[in-house]
Amino acid sequence: MKIRTYRRVTHAVIYVLLAILAVYCLFPFAWMVISSLKPIDEIRMRVPTFTIHRPTLDNFVNVLVEHNFTTYIRNSLVVSLAACALSLAISLLSGYVFSRFYRRRAVKYTNFFMLVSQMIPGVLLLVPLYITMRNLGILESKISLILAYTTFVIPLCTFMLSSAYDSIPASLEEAAVLDGCGRLETLRRVILPIMVPSIVSVGLYAFINAWNEFMFGYVFISQDANRTITPAIMLFKGANSINWGGLMAASVIAVLPVALIFLFLQRYFMSGLMSGAVKG
């Protein structure tokens, strides 16, 4: 009897704490969406309300049409998709070697170099990277961002994909090789189809990383035509008096792809994150 009440109380306490955690994590998003749907006079109220009296899409129309956000979204999509594809192509190859030839000296050197490069933060390389991009003549272009984003995710993508390859028995490809298949052919026809879940989660990581990045986009691109969405939000804020409604609408737009990906592919994503986190 006593034990049962004790259990019930702990259960209740756990749910209360979980609810607090959920509010802590989600309230900013709720407030962002509410604010983005409020007209300007409701935004500028001394005592803000949770309800919207006259919901409006003005803020969205404003940022999308008048402030060029359609261009920024398109740029962000192009850059992120390209960075995602490029880093997958590169890491699928290097990850394969990491998994199958892990005893080779070549792999050990590469592994060491990747671990070290993981520990060198982008901001410390900001200036030489800027100069390198300028010397290559690709400053102010999407290519500069694609190259930078790809480079900084290659190590982690390689590590994650190499552990995915580890779970596929080598006998599978040996059979294909005996049948006269080349290595790349075997990789493409036999192994990659089984690896789809891992490829999806690694690809998502690369995509989201590129979509969310701020500093390189802010520094490399100064012209509107190639600007991506995260620096665009920063500059939108800087324009004279802050239009908070518009700013929240822009934020909703910037979160949307990530939120959708997460909702639909949560299972892939979580397992990928978990295995990545354990490897750290």
Partner 1 sequence: MAAGREVRAGAVSRRRSDTRFAWSAMAPAWVFLVALIGYPLVLVVLDAFSHVNLIKPTVGGFAGLDNFAQVVSDPHFPAAVGNTLIWTVGSVVGEYAVGLGSALLLNRPVRGRGAFRALTFIPWLVPIIVAGMTWSWMLNPDFGIVNSLLVKGGLVHRPINFLGDATWAMPTVIFVNVWRSFPFFTISFLAALQAVPEELYEAAQIDGASPWQRFRDITFPDLRSVSLIIVFIHVIWTSVNFDFIWVMTQGGPNYATITLPILIYRYAMQQFDVGMASALSTLMLIGTSLVFVVYYRYRRKLSEEILG
- Contacts to partner 1 from residues 133-162, by CB under 8 A: 147-148, 150-152, 154-155, 158
Q: In this chain, which of 9, 131, 175, 196 binds partner 1, going by CB under 8 A?
A: 131
CB neighbour class for 265 (10 Å; exposed up to 12, middle 13-18, buried from 19): middle
Q: In this chain, which of 52, 85, 138, 255 binds partner 1, going by CB under 8 A?
A: 255
Report the amino acid identity of residue 142: K
CA distance 19 to 25: 10
Binding to partner 1 in span 67-126, by CB under 8 A: 89-91, 93-94, 96-97, 101, 104, 106-107, 110, 113-114, 117, 119-121, 123-126
Length of the chain (residues): 280
61-69, 168-176, 190-198, 247-255 -> range binding partner 1 (CB under 8 A): 247-255
Residue with tokens 């900001």: 126
Count of CA atoms in the C-beta half-sphere (13 A) of 40 = 7
For partner 1 (CB under 8 A), the number of binding residues is 87
For the CB of residue 58, give the shortest distance to partner 1 in the complex, in Å: 17
Q: How big is the CA angle at 256 (ends 253 and 257), to the nearest 5 degrees?
A: 115
Binding to partner 1 in span 5-34, by CB under 8 A: 11, 14-15, 17-18, 21-22, 24-26, 28-29, 31-32
Helices (H), 37-121: 40-43, 58-61, 69-100, 105-118
For the CB of residue 118, give the shortest distance to partner 1 in the complex, in Å: 9
Binding to partner 1 in span 211-230, by CB under 8 A: 211-215, 219, 229-230
179 is a site residue for partner 1 (CB under 8 A): no
Per-residue binding letters, 191-210, with partner 1 (x by CB under 8 A):
-----------------x--
- Per DSSP, the residues of 141-171 read SHHHHHHHHHHHHHHHHHHHHHHHHHTS-HH
For the CB of residue 218, give the shortest distance to partner 1 in the complex, in Å: 8
Nearest one of 244, 212, 232 to 71, comparing CA atoms: 232
